[in-house]
A and B are shown apart, each in its own frame.
Chain A
Amino acid sequence: MKMLSTLPTRLLFILLATALAGCGRKESAPTTTADADAGPSVMETDLARTVAEQTEFYKIKTPADLPTSLNWVNSDHLPEFANPNAKQGGTFRYYIADFPRTTRTIGPDATGGIRTYLLDYIGVPYVQTHPNLPGEVYAGLAESWALDQSTRTVYFRLNPKATWSDGRPVTTADVVFSFYFMRSPHLREPWYNDYYTKTYTAISIYDEHTFAITLAGWGPDAVVRAGNLVPYARHALQEFASDWIEKFQWRVLPTTGAYELLERNIERGRAVTLTKVKDWWARDLRFWRGRFNPDRYRLDVIRDPDKAFEAFVRGDIDMFPIGQPKFWYESLPDTHPEVAAGYIAKTKFFNKTPRPDWGLWINSSKPQLNQVEVRLGLHHATNFDLVCAQYFRGDAVRMETRSDGYGWRMHPDITARRFDPVKAREHFAAAGFTTQGPDGVLINATGQRLSFTISTYLPSLRDLLPILQQEALKAGLEFKLEVLDQTTGWKKMQEKQHEIALIALSRSVELYPRYWEMFHGSNAYEDAYLAADGRFVLKHSEGTPNPAPSKVRVQTNNMTMTFDPELDRLIEAYDEAETLDDIKRYAQDMEQIIHDQGWWVNGWSLPFHRTGYWRYVQWPEGFNAMQSRNAEEFFLHWVDEDERAATAAARRSGQKFPTQILIFDQFKN
């Protein structure tokens, strides 16, 4: 009820604030009430208290404390990946599948939705991974940085030109605040609280522009771990307190990025339009120039992809991802009138980026599935080869290991086991399933049928699952299929109630994959490792393996219920390894164990992204960055409004352009 009475007042206030901001006096626009003279806000008081209390974490120092031996580096020697001469201006029209439930970029309901356009794709972090050169970073808010492995500390110098979209400078005050913010229980994001507590051990402030982040562990990607963070604007979050979720539900915070979302550009339920920040501070900065080119970025809400496709072909939106074979081959064939006339271009871009690990996640704690032979039989009985070749029309390829798409192969010669009913039957026979029942399903001596349920929560897999089901029968294996609602399905898998799950976890672009979450025994059982006094401990190195663990750990990504002490030992060594050579060595051993034990049946990956766009949308040479996961991610495209007008005129007059079916395979393996 309280919400109801305060909402109109708040809206009015924000409208006033934006109106003032629109008058061109951005520097003094009162974005929050905290600028009033009423003394420090509740947040500031709490922040000051926290900093005073946690001196081990928040270290306020002087420039004189800065080590003199540091080797400051920057990214001036690296090549850019955008086209600095990209045409600026114009409006780009695209779509989102759902109207966002909040404009917060963190907290409940913030994941998905509009967050990618407010933060993930847009926000400027201190440094960012170079999408064409894995292992390298380029400058964002930081203009230079220095690494000190002996103290596990990364030093950063902020670019003095860096400003928020409301004109205020980005300083180390924001950096300190961001750590306080991410570690605060008010945030209601336990994952972030945990991550920011476990990954970082200290933050040191030297002056307005110099700070250092100390990491709990070191590795070849230390600079990314410390620096690929986007700060939050301290001055805009003065009201941050336990009730911030509701207060900030529809507030848009100042950004370091090129686009901002203004209240007047939110059309409830229908569309949101991002606008280019006026005189954006990084517009001439290397690696940032030539990106985020359109002045307006309109996102219409179109809930159904098929409808969005129709809107695209009609010209209501400028671009559409046509990755699915249905769109690429059937709905938008090369002979499609708009394609043949050259109005719409079709592009296939081979990327190189960590692949989502599509495959069957076998719950090895379930009866029968705890036998290696049954699991290996499942590998040979699941016809993902057919799925790749005929369902995906040969576009998809098998995942050869769990970790394909990284800069190097995690294991030089492991390949996925191919579909082979005869070999599958041999493995099943070794597990005791020797006779074939009247329905063609194998049974063992005690009369148990070889039957498992595959669960998924992705409606898009409804058509793929029956293919696997029909093929598995050839190996005497019955798959039952279960397509659950998203929340229910995810919950079931996180509680390890499933037998087999067909899912994938999306992977962020990282230098090397993670194994701890998916395969460490302590993520399968709470009592996986016991200390000498019988306490449960998290690590192999801290205790001894429990021969009969019984307490299932829920809400973890170890959905294969893997518990293998040798693998756990390797995972721990891998996580502590500091050189890339060690990391590679451990990764190879771990991939071998995972392959031999067969907890995960290798699924498919799509080694490219495909996009359809109107010819007035233009791209840099080579189309996109190597690690891009979709055409839009790095905002390298621009809109040529003159060409838009020319295209419209050509469509009326029937004039044709050269057909554009473009394949970019410079990053293909």
Chain B
Amino acid sequence: MPRLLPRLSLDPLTQKKLRRFRSIRRAYVSFLILTAAILLSIIAELLVNSRALVVSYEGEIYFPTYGAIHTGKEFGFDYDYEVNYRALAERIAAEPDSDNWVIMPIVPYDPLENCYPGEPFKPRAPTTTEGHYLGTDQINRDILARLVYGFRNALIFSSAFLVFTYLIGITIGCLMGYFGGWFDLLVQRIIEVWSNIPFLFVVIIVASVIPAGIGMNLWILLGIVVLFSWTSMTYYMRSVTYREKARDYVHAAQVLGAGTGRIIFRHIMPNILSTIVTFIPFTVSGAISALTSLDFLGFGLPPPTPSWGELLRQGTANLNAPWIVASAFTALTLVLTLVTFVGEAIREAFDPKKFTTYQ
């Protein structure tokens, strides 16, 4: 491993590819926006949350964002459950000369909470005065909060999806290409049969049979989707491994007595990485779409997990509240477009034929 990393970053060829990627402005900007969005989503609790960032109460400083809850009684309310920081902030603001203060996040709402206690549940149009910048859904939850946390869930899902499908797909594909012969033939036939099983259909059947314990569910869903998605990667890996296998450095390694694992993962793999890298963005966008469509159909993450598919479903059922479907649709289109821009540029940058352009 220590040799693999320097080669990736210092190799003049790789550097050239990165320069080329950066020179494609549209992609570079997309890449920066996406990276920023991903980084921000990691610290989403500090930006979109019903818990305050900092509370100074009776001489003590609290940082409630992460960690255990603080009850209402700790802040002078009469209840034992978690304090409502917005109500606390309002109360403190109304106290004329108190030293207490509360700093709330930019969007002071949680993706799960009912933001209008005491009022009917119905979609509410966007307002800036109350901080519901994209309105609320049909049970008074803030849409922006659900979008942000839904984005994070989609990212977790797609990264994990990427890792697992590539792990299985690359390993099997490389083995097929490296060994060839009857092993290749046999596994190819198995993959053909396997990949002919209608994916979405099976996911729906399996997802409906598996009891949905929360927390586990993301992983079970991931497992099912990965189980039926690893096959496509094997074709590419098989063919590039075939090509690399015939090269002299592989023969040299064989002559030196290197084992199969070492040859595949230490010698061949670094040389086919560029192929893998070009697929990554498209796999990510595929994973996001798959998760969204499953959620839309009601076979995805269990309620009340924030997800884009669930928002789209709500939106289509409440067309008189267009802000729901508009928010989810815009967010989905935006992210998928950005990912595709990045993907196209990576493909172009890694293309050995320098002057080919994709329009």
Contacts and interface: CB of A to CB of B under 8 A. Distances in A.
Interface string B207-244: 01101111000000000000000000000000000000
Interface string B88-107: 00000000000000000000
Interface string B55-81: 000000000000111010000000111
B303 A483 contact: yes
A304 to B, nearest CB: 9
A469 B141 CA distance: 14
B295 to A, nearest CB: 11
A488 B119 contact: no
A438 interface: yes
Interface in A315-354: 325-326, 329-331
A29 B84 CA distance: 76
Interface in A434-453: 436, 438-440, 453
A476 B81 contact: yes
B139 A391 contact: yes
B138 interface: yes
Contacts of A331: 320
A630 to B, nearest CB: 21
A485 interface: yes
A440 B79 CA distance: 12
B213 A453 contact: yes
A425 interface: yes
Contact of B122 (A329, A485, A492): A329
- Of listed B80, B119, B316, B317, residue having the most chain A CB within 10 A: B80
Contact of A488 (B81, B208, B317, B321): B208
Nearest to A474: B81
Given A329-B122, A390-B119, A473-B81, A438 B302 contact: no
B112 interface: yes
Contacts of A42: none
Contacts of A483: 212, 298, 302-303
B318 interface: yes
B113 interface: yes
A466 B120 CA distance: 15
Given A390-B119, A436-B80, A481 B302 contact: yes
Contacts of A481: 214, 302-304
A483 B301 CA distance: 10
Nearest to A497: B211
Contacts of A459: 298
Contacts of B211: 482, 484, 492
A470 B212 contact: no
Contact of B82 (A326, A440, A453, A482): A440
Contacts of A306: 316-317, 319
B293 interface: no
B303 A462 contact: yes
Given A462-B303, A483-B298, A488-B209, A330 B318 contact: yes
A463 interface: yes
A100 interface: no
Interface in B113-131: 113-114, 118-123
Contacts of B316: 306
B298 A326 contact: no
A385 B212 CA distance: 27
Contacts of B71: 436, 440
Contacts of B304: 465-466, 469, 481
Interface in B224-269: none
A463 B208 contact: no
A502 B269 CA distance: 53
A466 B112 contact: yes
Contact of B303 (A391, A439, A466, A474): A466
Nearest to B81: A474
Nearest to A329: B122
Contact of A438 (B67, B209, B214): B67
A485 B298 CA distance: 9
Given A390-B120, A476-B81, A482 B302 contact: yes
A425 to B, nearest CB: 7
Contacts of A391: 120-121, 139
Contact of A439 (B69, B112, B208, B314): B69
A425 B212 CA distance: 28
A598 B145 CA distance: 37
Contact of B113 (A436, A470, A484): A470
- Of listed A390, A438, A482, residue having the most chain B CB within 10 A: A390
Interface in B309-330: 314, 316-321
Contact of A440 (B69, B141, B209, B318): B69
A266 interface: no
Nearest to A489: B208
A465 B214 CA distance: 14
A455 to B, nearest CB: 8
Interface in A457-475: 459, 462-463, 465-467, 469-470, 473-475
A330 B320 contact: yes
A480 B81 contact: no
A367 to B, nearest CB: 16
B114 A467 contact: yes
30 contacts: A306-B317, A325-B122, A330-B122, A330-B123, A330-B321, A390-B120, A390-B121, A391-B121, A421-B79, A421-B80, A421-B81, A425-B80, A436-B71, A438-B68, A439-B69, A440-B82, A453-B213, A459-B298, A463-B303, A467-B139, A473-B81, A474-B79, A476-B80, A481-B302, A482-B212, A483-B303, A484-B211, A485-B208, A488-B208, A492-B211
Interface of B: 67-69, 71, 79-82, 112-114, 118-123, 138-139, 141, 208-209, 211-214, 298, 302-304, 314, 316-321
Given A466-B112, A474-B81, 6 more contacts: A329-B122, A391-B139, A475-B81, A482-B302, A483-B303, A485-B209
Interface of A: 306, 325-326, 329-331, 390-391, 393, 421-422, 425, 436, 438-440, 453, 459, 462-463, 465-467, 469-470, 473-476, 480-485, 488, 492
